[in-house]
Chains A and B, each alone.
Chain A
């Protein structure tokens, strides 16, 4: 059992609160991604699981054990650091073997250790590099050594702190896939910290979005994308981000905005006329409709698609289109059509989702 649970966990550094009353369940064999901007508390949360940070209040459990007071070296956990944290004086082989020899008690025999090391090296394609030192490896290779070191002792939980951020874009995409494959193969729990929403969307079986030390939303990536719980999640997840516009709630199914009215298919529970913010994803907008008027500011060609940037009232919106769509000129006035089923409504004051 490698379930990890936070129950009302808070971490303070002096007067500042890094993690604020976090309650989060990571199920066994989950690939949980903690996602948020820098300083949101995701790394602190991860380090508390590792035992590298003490817990100010609340309970942290791994499996069925409360681990608040269990030393880091006694938790069955492996962590991959952003800097990889390889031991520069040891060869790749010794680095990978390190968790197996760290303790005298219960140490495996030399033959068994050698088998484990070569298995881990095999999985990560390091067999040829076993006798080199980290200084003689590329960034990608070092990253693999760090991963091999973490899988060699078959821990209950894997923790990863932005392990891809030091790799170039191409290698990052490739390693992303490999990490997911590794997770499937090992059938164990991964907890992965990143600020990159693409990593979160593509790798996580669940994502937990955080900001300012507070958990915003937990769910499957697609569910979070489709129904963001509040304005922060709505604007943080998605690239290009969700288009937002201030308006006033008229009925449970319509919002009045600057120069138009937007229909909402999923009825809003509230009926009072209040300030709301509507959100529409770039792919749910089309040029040629009857909902809101807009002015074309720019067209970005990306090859497989294009992004049309428009001024809509006080806001700038992005519309995602096929690259062979009818050509547009900058400055042109257009009408936009919005699918009412894809309109998100948020309370402008509380930022919470209303529909």
Chain B
């Protein structure tokens, strides 16, 4: 009897790992191995025009992370995050609030609001670039969107990112709002809550898990933004839109692999810390229905 059970367990285990294997292989090839290589690159300084390398260790990584280059990239990244995440959340909530009602033809609006999900970052960046073009763009006279100035470039990149994320934030927030039972809203109305207060005291707390999820996604997306920067500003002018990730991509393929790899490690730690921090911090305040 025991033998039968053990062999069955073994069979189940083999089946389980077999089914998991493809995913593990993909992870190994595209995530774990590159990560291992990055650590390797970061620890060794490669000499120009030579295959020789010199071990620089954690001191080498630390030198990069405490250097001006990393610091300026970090500041630009944080600025980009501050421009895009709160705005993305607020616009998503506003649009979802506007579309979360029983009106004739509301599905059309919901479709329009969510349509940006279907367009790629590259396409919408090119469209945005056309819109703000100084010679022919629709917004050519809007001075605060002048990509030729450092401030305008940052605002332009941030605005186009928020715009690209609108569909996603809208859909997610709308789904969160639709999950609130109608009777709760009615009870709040009868308790005497006017719309704005009801929204702040009842709706927002009840969609807070959704907002947390969205905040994490938006933060990670802002840390990983690349295509819109490449297309709109190429990091300029005067390197004012060179986020960490953008700097890393500029350094890869050059001789200075150690610097890029060290920055990549820094970005990795930052992303991890922000995500974990957000969950720890917000988890206490978030309501999860049981």
- List A52-108 residues whose CB lies under 8 Å from chain B: 52, 72-73, 75, 77-79, 81-83, 85-90, 98-99, 102-104
Alpha-carbon separation in the docked complex, A50 to B185 (Å): 13
B8 to chain A, nearest CB (A): 39
Q: Are B287 and A88 in contact (CB under 8 A)?
A: yes
* Chain A contacts for B206, CB-based, 8 A: 87-89
Q: Are B202 and A87 in contact (CB under 8 A)?
A: yes
Asked if A135 lies at the interface with its beta carbon under 8 angstroms from chain B, I say yes
Interface string of B68-90 (1 = CB under 8 A from A): 00000000000000000000000
The number of residues on chain A lying at the interface, defined by a beta carbon within 8 Å of a beta carbon of chain B, is 25
Interface string of B183-209 (1 = CB under 8 A from A): 110111111111001000110011010
Q: Are B287 and A89 in contact (CB under 8 A)?
A: yes
Alpha-carbon separation in the docked complex, A211 to B159 (Å): 58
A sample of 4 more A-B contacts (CB under 8 A), given A51-B190, A72-B189, is A75-B190, A87-B187, A88-B287, A104-B197
Q: Are B289 and A72 in contact (CB under 8 A)?
A: no
Residue of A nearest to B193 (CB): A102
Q: Which residues of A contact B (CB under 8 A)?
A: 50-52, 72-73, 75, 77-79, 81-83, 85-90, 98-99, 102-104, 135, 149
Interface of A is mostly: loop
Once A85-B184, A102-B197 are accepted as A-B contacts, the answer to whether A79 and B287 lie under 8 Å apart by CB is: no
* Chain A contacts for B189, CB-based, 8 A: 51-52, 72-73
Q: Are A89 and B205 in contact (CB under 8 A)?
A: yes
Of A79, A82, A83, A102, most B-chain CB atoms within 10 Å: A102
B151 to chain A, nearest CB (A): 39
Q: Are A85 and B181 in contact (CB under 8 A)?
A: yes
* Chain B contacts for A135, CB-based, 8 A: 289-290
* Chain A contacts for B183, CB-based, 8 A: 81-83, 85
Q: Are B192 and A99 in contact (CB under 8 A)?
A: yes
Q: Are A81 and B187 in contact (CB under 8 A)?
A: yes
Residue of B nearest to A102 (CB): B192
Alpha-carbon separation in the docked complex, A83 to B205 (Å): 20
Alpha-carbon separation in the docked complex, A207 to B205 (Å): 40
Residue of A nearest to B202 (CB): A87
Alpha-carbon separation in the docked complex, A90 to B290 (Å): 13
Alpha-carbon separation in the docked complex, A79 to B184 (Å): 11
CB < 8 Å neighbour of B190 from A50, A83, A87: A50
Once A85-B184, A89-B287 are accepted as A-B contacts, the answer to whether A79 and B190 lie under 8 Å apart by CB is: yes
Alpha-carbon separation in the docked complex, A85 to B189 (Å): 12
A132 to chain B, nearest CB (A): 12
* Chain A contacts for B181, CB-based, 8 A: 83, 85
CB < 8 Å neighbour of B191 from A51, A52, A98, A104: A98
* Chain A contacts for B193, CB-based, 8 A: 73, 102-103
CB < 8 Å neighbour of B186 from A75, A81, A90: A81
* Chain B contacts for A72, CB-based, 8 A: 186, 189-190
* Chain A contacts for B201, CB-based, 8 A: 102
Alpha-carbon separation in the docked complex, A85 to B193 (Å): 15
Residue of B nearest to A98 (CB): B191
A259 to chain B, nearest CB (A): 54
Alpha-carbon separation in the docked complex, A102 to B192 (Å): 5
A208 to chain B, nearest CB (A): 22
B211 to chain A, nearest CB (A): 13
Of B184, B191, B208, B287, most A-chain CB atoms within 10 Å: B191
Q: Are B187 and A79 in contact (CB under 8 A)?
A: yes
A46 to chain B, nearest CB (A): 12
Once A88-B287, A89-B205, A135-B290 are accepted as A-B contacts, the answer to whether A103 and B192 lie under 8 Å apart by CB is: yes
- In the complex, 25 of the A-B residue pairs with CB atoms within 8 angstroms, ordered by the A residue number, are A50-B186, A52-B189, A52-B190, A72-B190, A73-B189, A73-B190, A73-B192, A73-B193, A73-B194, A81-B183, A81-B186, A81-B187, A82-B183, A85-B183, A85-B187, A87-B187, A87-B188, A87-B202, A88-B206, A89-B287, A98-B188, A98-B191, A99-B191, A102-B191, A135-B289
Alpha-carbon separation in the docked complex, A88 to B288 (Å): 9
